[in-house]
C-alpha cells in the first residue's frame, strides 16, 4: 500500500469529488421535482396521464441505468447535431459534454424510482387529514400544497434517504461517458501509477463519508417532527 500519489493528485481528486457531488445534487433536485409530477399523475391523473406516467416508471425502472446513459450519450448525442442550428446555438458547449448527458439520464432515472416512493406515500396519507382540510374549505390546490404533499414527503423521508444513497452509488457510471468524476480520477491514477487498490480505497472512503452525511442530514430532518409512539 502506498499513498504517496495523493500529494500530486489531490487537486484532481477534489475536482472529481465536486463533479460527483454536482451530479448527485442535480439529479436528486430535478428528479424530485419531476417525481412529484409523476406521482400525482399516477394517483390523481386521468386515464391517459396515468398510463403515460406508469409506462415512464416501468421503462426507467426496468432497464439498466448504464443503457439509459449510453442511449442518451451515444444515441441522442449522435442525433443532436442533425437538428438544424443547434451547433450555432448558445447551448452547444453544454450539449456536447458528457456531464450534461449524465445529469439528464441520472435525473430521469432517479425520478422514476422516486415517483414510486412518493406514489405510495401519497396514498398513505391518512384520509381523515385530507377530509379535515376539505372541511376547512381548502381548495384542491391548497389542500395538495399545504397538507397532502408535505405529509406524503414526511412519510417517505426514510425511503428518500435510501434512494439518494442508491443514486450516489450510481454516479460512478458517469465515467463511461468521459465525465471526470471521482471514480474516473481513481481510474486515471491507476493508469498512471499502476496502483489498483489504493485509489479505489480512497474513493470508497469518500463515498462512505458522503453516505454518512446523507444519513445524518435525514436523521435531523426526521427529528424535526415529533412522533408519538
Partner 1 sequence: MATAQQGILDLLSPYPPGWGGVLLAGAVSTVAISACAFAIGLLLGTGGALGKLSGNRMLRLMLDLYTTLIRAVPELILIVGLYYAGTDGLNRLLAVLELPPVNVNGFVAAVAVLGFVQGAYMTEVLRGAILAIPVGQIEAAKAFGMGPVLRFRRVLLPALLPNALPGLANLWMSVTKDSALVAVVGYQELALATRLAGASTKHYFVFFLASALLYLAITLVSNVVFKLIEGRVRRGQPRLA
Residue ranges in contact with partner 1 by CB under 8 A: 58-59, 61-68, 70-71, 74-79, 168-173, 176, 183, 186, 196-197, 200, 203-204, 207-208, 211
Distance of closest approach, residue 68 Cβ to partner 1, in angstroms = 7
| In the complex, least distance from residue 147 CB atom to partner 1, rounded to whole angstroms | 28
Q: Is the dihedral of CA 32, 35, 40, 43 positive or negative?
A: negative
The whole-angstrom separation of Cα 149 and Cα 16 is 35
Q: Which is nearer to partner 1, 6 or 208 (CB)?
A: 208
Q: How far is the CB of 198 from partner 1 (least distance, A)?
A: 11
Closest CB to partner 1 among residues 8, 55: 55
Is 10 or 74 the residue whose CB approaches partner 1 more closely? Answer: 74
In the complex, least distance from residue 208 CB atom to partner 1, rounded to whole angstroms = 6
Go through 44-57 and write b for each residue having 16 or more CB atoms within 10 A of its CB, e for each that does not: ebeeeeeeebbebb
CB of 192 to partner 1, least distance (A): 16
Q: Which is nearer to partner 1, 124 or 142 (CB)?
A: 124
- Residue number, 154 or 158, with CB nearest to partner 1: 158
Smaller CB distance to partner 1: residue 142 or 205? 205
Amino acid at each position: 500500500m502506498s499513498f504517496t500519489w495523493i500529494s500530486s493528485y489531490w487537486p484532481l481528486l477534489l475536482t472529481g469529488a465536486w463533479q460527483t457531488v454536482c451530479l448527485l445534487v442535480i439529479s436528486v433536485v430535478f428528479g424530485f421535482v419531476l417525481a412529484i409530477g409523476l406521482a400525482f399523475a399516477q394517483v390523481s391523473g386521468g386515464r391517459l396521464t396515468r398510463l403515460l406516467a406508469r409506462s415512464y416508471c416501468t421503462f426507467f425502472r426496468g432497464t439498466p441505468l448504464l443503457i439509459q446513459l449510453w442511449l442518451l450519450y451515444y444515441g441522442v448525442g449522435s442525433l443532436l447535431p442533425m437538428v438544424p442550428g443547434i451547433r450555432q446555438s448558445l447551448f452547444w458547449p453544454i450539449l456536447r459534454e458528457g456531464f450534461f448527458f449524465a445529469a439528464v439520464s441520472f435525473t430521469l432515472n432517479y425520478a422514476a424510482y422516486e415517483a414510486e416512493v412518493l406514489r405510495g406515500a401519497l396514498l398513505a396519507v391518512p384520509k381523515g387529514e385530507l377530509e379535515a382540510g376539505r372541511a376547512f374549505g381548502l381548495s384542491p390546490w391548497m389542500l395538495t400544497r399545504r397538507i397532502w404533499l408535505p405529509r406524503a414527503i414526511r412519510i417517505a423521508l426514510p425511503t428518500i434517504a435510501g434512494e439518494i444513497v442508491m443514486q450516489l452509488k450510481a454516479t460512478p457510471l458517469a465515467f463511461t461517458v468521459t465525465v471526470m468524476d471521482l471514480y474516473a480520477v481513481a481510474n486515471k491514477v491507476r493508469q498512471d501509477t499502476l496502483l489498483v487498490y489504493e485509489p479505489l480505497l480512497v474513493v470508497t472512503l469518500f463515498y462512505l463519508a458522503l453516505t454518512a452525511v446523507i444519513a445524518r442530514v435525514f436523521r435531523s430532518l426526521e427529528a424535526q417532527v415529533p412522533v408519538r409512539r
